[in-house]
Amino acid sequence: MKRFNRSILVKLIFTFITVGLILSFALIVVQSRMFLHVLYEQQDLAMQDTARYAVEYVDSLLREVKNACIQLSYIPELNSGDRDAIGKSLQAYIEQSRQCFRRTYYVDANRRMYSSAEVALEVLQKTMNYDIPLQLADATPANGNAALSDLYRSSMITANTIAVSRRNALGGTAIAELDLNEVEKHILNALGASEVDYVLTTGTGNVICRRLPGNVSETEILARCNTENEHRIAFSANGGAPFRLYTARAFRQSNWKLYFILDESSVYDSLWQLIRYTVGISALLMFAMVMILSTVASHFVNPIRRLSAHLKEINGEDGYGQFKPLKREDEVGELSENIGSMLKRIDIITRKQTAEQQQRFDAELHVLQNQLNPHFLYNSLNMLSALAIQGRSDQIPPAVSALVHILLMGTDKVGPAVTLNEELRSTQEYMRIMRLRYGDRFELNVSAPEELRACYVPKLILQPIIENSVFHGMSTIEDGGLIFIEATLDKDVLMVNVTDNGCGMNTEKTAALLDNHQSGEIKSTGLINTDARIRLYFGEGYGLTVNSALGVGTHVSVRLKLIKTMEEWEEIVHENRA
């Protein structure tokens, strides 16, 4: 019953759970991909808006700075040649202007430098040969447009800065150093409440300002900012936390680049939370479906289970006619009725075949027994005739008594099986007849333990072997002949060995001795019939085995099943008949 249950209901549930797990896994994969796809699209849209605002703020600042530098270049006092007047004008412009200037300079056509901090400029010129304003003036285009420098370290303000410069019609160049903190404020104003981290660099990759996440190496971020060309890339910082880098390049007033760094740990936390919800809901649904499936399947499985149990109950009985079909108006009921009809037909056919096999088995045994008795009777009567001719009439009564005992063993009054002890006694009675005929030319020795003497064997299996030894093995021996019978046990096999020291046979005669297809003197009818009877009773693994050597003797092994009771005998014979 349990095996049936495993093979139907459990396998059905196992299959359902397996399919459910596969579908759940596929759902989680698809759902995760869709979730990330939608999220990334939303991020792209959000970052595009953020980048547009930030770029517009910075462009607006740079446009105002350039316009302010242009206005600075038009101040008349800058071309007066009076150092004090020029310095005051440059300082006054910084104070009056609301732009993000830290220092202002002017380089006239004669390459003389002026600054809003004249004292500091004079000191730097004397101590450090400071000439950065000259370098910026040389790099300023002569077309009158304002230009931005690259990032550099200003000794005047002891900080990194970027200069905006413009050359006027008189050949002088106005220069203003930017306050990069003001640039960062504009970017933060553009980001508003957003906590997006960012990096603003020049076209050459120098960092203008930045705000980086605390768990990311600044070197790693800056390296990616300078090497990656994709608009959006994903990477893992320090081999762990996931990040995504967005790039904005839409500046109109400069070749600056703006990068946004998004920490995606929260994204993956949300994804894992979604997966956990999905797994939990899937588990609940699968449990509910398994319970429903078990209930529905039991409606169909239980009748089949009862049908299987009923078949198992009648499996060991004699007939299948006791099968009772299930009373159901569905396919299971129809199957049950068809099984009942089939079992009835099987029962009829089986009974018929069993009866036919038993009749055939009994007929074959009768034929073999009928072949054995005339053969033995012919030899025995021939011996009695010889005794009478020789005038040994006093020996005829014991010979007849022994003959009657042996013939009685061959009648139906004695069953097909006798104890080994009875079989040995019958053999000794036969040897009494042979000794009356041949005298003391040979003798019989028997070795059989008492526990084996009580075992059951087919009757008259040793007499044909002894007869073959006497008439063929001992025919040329005048004195000292010996026939030895030994019974031994080999696991569950009873071995009865008959050995003589007669003339023996060559290999060809030995091989032909049990061959039913041979004819003439080589063939031994008694041995052939005995071997056939043993095989009919016990099967092909049992019977006679003959070994002989010319001039040495012959050894016959009888292999039998170990049978201790008549009930065991009847059971084995019944199995072989079937």
What pLDDT is recorded for position 272? 76
Residue 371 pLDDT greater than 50, yes or no:
no
Mean pLDDT of 258-276: 75
Which positions ≥6 away from 499 have C-beta within 8 Å? 483, 484, 486, 553, 554, 555, 556
Interhelix angle 331-389/525-538, rounded to 10 degrees, is 150
Return the DSSP state at 20.
H
Residue 68 pLDDT greater than 80, yes or no:
yes
- Which is more confident, 151 or 338? 151
What pLDDT is recorded for position 452? 92
pTM of the model: 0.46
What pLDDT is recorded for position 545? 92
pLDDT single digits (tens) 424-446:
988 888 888 888 777 788 899 99
Residue 537, both tokens: 């009773």
> Which secondary structure element, helix H or strand E, spans residue 105, and what is its range?
strand 101-107
Residue 413 pLDDT greater than 80, yes or no:
no
Task: Name which of 74-78, 402-406, 456-460 the model is least confident about.
Answer: 402-406
Average pLDDT, the chain: 78
How sure is the predictor about 219, in pLDDT bands with cuts at 50, 70 and 90? confident
Total residue length of the chain: 578
What pLDDT is recorded for position 1? 42
Residue 136 pLDDT greater than 80, yes or no:
yes
Residue 387, both tokens: 């005794």
How sure is the predictor about 499, in pLDDT bands with cuts at 50, 70 and 90? very high
Which positions ≥6 away from 98 have C-beta within 8 Å? none
Contact present, 180 and 162 (Cβ < 8 Å) = yes
Residue 3 pLDDT greater than 60, yes or no:
no
Share of the chain above pLDDT 90, in %: 10
- Which is more confident, 560 or 573? 560
Mean pLDDT of 88-102: 79
Mean pLDDT of 273-287: 81
Mean pLDDT of 191-212: 80
How sure is the predictor about 372, in pLDDT bands with cuts at 50, 70 and 90? very low
What pLDDT is recorded for position 93? 84
- Residue located via tokens 């000259």: 134
Task: Name which of 130-134, 252-256, 492-496, 522-526 the model is least confident about.
Answer: 522-526
Residue 183, both tokens: 């640039």
Which has the closest alpha carbon to 196: 246, 267, 234?
A: 246
Alpha carbons 275 and 283: distance in angstroms, whole number: 12
What pLDDT is recorded for position 5? 45
Residue 4 pLDDT greater than 50, yes or no:
no
pLDDT single digits (tens) 124-133:
888 888 888 8
Number of helices (H), then strands (E), in the chain: 16, 19
Residue type present at position 473: G
Mean pLDDT of 267-275: 74
Mean pLDDT of 466-490: 86
Contact present, 16 and 293 (Cβ < 8 Å) = yes
E strands within 157-206? Answer: 159-161, 163-167, 173-178, 197-201
DSSP H stretches of helix in 316-330: none
Residue 37 pLDDT greater than 60, yes or no:
yes
Longest Cα separation, the chain: 183
Residue type present at position 391: G
Alpha carbons 47 and 509: distance in angstroms, whole number: 107
Alpha carbons 370 and 198: distance in angstroms, whole number: 115
Residue 554 pLDDT greater than 80, yes or no:
yes
Alpha carbon 92 to its chain's center? 85
Mean pLDDT of 57-81: 86
